[in-house]
Amino acid sequence: MPDQLQSTFQLRDDDVVIDDCFVIRESRFGLFNSITLQGRRMLTGGTYEGVETMTRWHLKCEQEGTLDQYSRVIETSSYKL
């Protein structure tokens, strides 16, 4: 990926690093977003605690390689234009 397209993630003074892995920031719309220290945006939710819990769970499943066991397609369409 070209250098000009890569964004660098910078910690803010008010960021709290959780598990030495990610931070949670409140958006201007009142939602909470988790971001890894590498800058990857993870989850968005309505409460700080919910986003913290689910981000920990998500990262644990990624490490264990079990995230696909909890993912599924809800509905597909066979309609063609």
pLDDT digits (tens, 9 = 90+) for 26-70: 999 999 999 999 999 999 999 999 999 999 999 999 999 998 898
Give the pLDDT of residue 75.
79
Give the pLDDT of residue 81.
67
DSSP assigned state of 43: E
Q: Which two three-digit tokens encode residue 23?
A: 């931070």
CB 9 within 8 A of CB 38: yes
CB 34 within 8 A of CB 52: yes
Q: Show Cβ contacts of residue 22 under 8 Å, excluding neighbours closer than 6 positions.
A: 34, 35, 36, 37, 42, 55, 59
Residue 1: pLDDT band with limits 50, 70, 90: very low
Inform me whether the pLDDT recorded for 6 exceeds 60: no
Q: What are phi and psi of 3, to 5 degrees?
A: -60, -35
